[in-house]
Structure 1
Amino acid sequence: MRSVFLAAALAAVSSSAALAQSCDAEPQFAAHRTANGVIRAQYNAVSRGEWPEAIHFGEEVVAGSGAPGHKVAAHTNLCAAYAATGEYELAIAACDAAIEMRDDAWRAMNNRGVALWLSGDRAAAVEAFQAANAASSGEDEVEANLAMAQCTTAG
């Protein structure tokens, strides 16, 4: 009987450890790329975590007279860069600008959720992740963020 109990206890600990390991501790940004060379450079900077460069390229595009799609991408990537550097109000404003330009901008919704999550507003972050999920078609970053939020709030 003791060995059955020990085996059950070890199985419970192992499955709890596996669940804890499958929970991402940090939300994931969704970088946005277009054919525009500056946006591609900004996308690459976001992908590498080079936040000052991502901000520089994004501000350049936003200040210019580029196409609306490029501005949506620049705002979306600016949101990620500002959030990563702790400038949550600027991040949320950048995401809001992208969403105002394109109401189905799931990457901006996702990054808005990340900014809210990092700022400590978990309930609003989950709402943003859910909106991103509704606007997207099962994108990896969005699904990972929803799973992270569920896993984090369940524990």
Structure 2
Amino acid sequence: MNISPPKSMLRTLLVAAIATTLTASVIIGMSGTASAGETQTANSAPHFTVEQSGKRVIKQGVIAYNKGDYAKAAAFNRDALHQGLRIKHKTIVYSNQCATLGSQGRYEQALAACDSALKLAPTNWQAYSNRAAVNWLSGDKVQAKLDIKSAEALDSTAAAITYNINLFG
């Protein structure tokens, strides 16, 4: 007698496993360190960068992101964009939203957020680094390498940039 679970249950378990792996990849990326025992998937995922600010609504988004609650982080970021922030803070929010949406696999929306950040501040290395990570994950390896090189030209000491350069080759 075949006692295998229904396909819908297997699909749900697979999605949960992928989400857990992605969350672990982002958490490892945020900590800047990974032990030799980490999974290959976690080691081969690019790192996103979220930037803190003195603005409460931005802080709330970063806290939610760092907890892996990307839906809440995205909501805080959307909220922040409707609060009449200065360009500096809008740039941070757009770049953080790029990381948040990229972590959710919403690559087109993530790229749009990074592009918005770069229109406001063309020298924002975090936005270039996040856009590189999104491009890498979405399969555009050439653009990912170009973006990470742009980020490196702006800040050659950032850990996320160094990690992604090594990953991208």
TM-score computed with the length of structure 2 as normaliser: 0.73
CA RMSD, Structure 1 to Structure 2 (Å): 1.7
Q: How does 1:17-96 map to 2 (within 5 A)?
A: 24-96=43-115
Structure with the larger RCO, 1 or 2 (CA within 8 Å, 6+ apart): 1
In structure 2, C-alpha distance between the alignment counterparts of 1:45 and 1:137, rounded to whole Å: 28
The equivalent of 2:117 in structure 1 is: 98
Task: Please report how far the alpha carbon of residue 48 of structure 1 lies from its aligned counterpart in structure 2 after TM superposition.
Answer: 2.3
The equivalent of 2:143 in structure 1 is: 124
The equivalent of 1:153 in structure 2 is: none
In structure 1, C-alpha distance between the alignment counterparts of 2:73 and 2:105, rounded to whole Å: 14
Corresponding residue to 1:134 among 136, 150, 153? 153
Amino acid of the residue matched to residue 147 of structure 2?
A
Amino acid of the residue matched to residue 81 of structure 1?
T
Which has the larger Rg? Answer: 1
How many residues in Structure 1 have an aligned counterpart in Structure 2? 130
CA deviations on 1:37-83 (whole Å, 9 max, x unpaired) are 11111112222221101100110111221111111111011001111
> What SS does the corresponding residue of 1:131 show, helix, strand or coil?
helix
The equivalent of 1:9 in structure 2 is: none
2:156–2:162 contact (8 Å) kept in structure 1: no
CA deviations on 1:7-60 (whole Å, 9 max, x unpaired) are xxxxxxxxxx9xxx8x93100001111100111111122222211011001101
In structure 1, C-alpha distance between the alignment counterparts of 2:156 and 2:63, rounded to whole Å: 23
> What SS does the corresponding residue of 2:48 show, helix, strand or coil?
coil
2:95–2:130 contact (8 Å) kept in structure 1: yes
> What SS does the corresponding residue of 2:43 show, helix, strand or coil?
coil
TM-score computed with the length of structure 1 as normaliser: 0.79
- Structure 2, unpaired ranges of 5+: 1-35
- Structure 1, unpaired ranges of 5+: 1-16, 151-155
In structure 1, C-alpha distance between the alignment counterparts of 2:67 and 2:165, rounded to whole Å: 23
